[in-house]
Amino acid sequence: MFFFKKDIIIWGIVLLAVVIALIVLLRIAGSGKEMHQGVATILNAI
């Protein structure tokens, strides 16, 4: 149970880092429309 909980925390941190990285990259890349589309795609994938 402890390992399971630890795993969830690690995956949560990894997912958070990936999402932040994607948002930063999209913001650097430019348009707000692209960013919104990217977020929608990520949400649909989940």
pLDDT for 40: 79
Q: What's the rounded Cα separation, in Å, for the pair 4 and 10? A: 10
Q: What are the structure tokens assigned to 5, written together?
A: 């909980």
Interval 1-44: pLDDT, tens:
566 788 888 889 999 999 999 888 877 776 656 667 777 787 78
pLDDT for 17: 95
pLDDT for 14: 93
Domain segments of the chain as ranges: 22-46
Dihedral, 21, 25, 26, 31 alpha carbons, nearest 10: 150
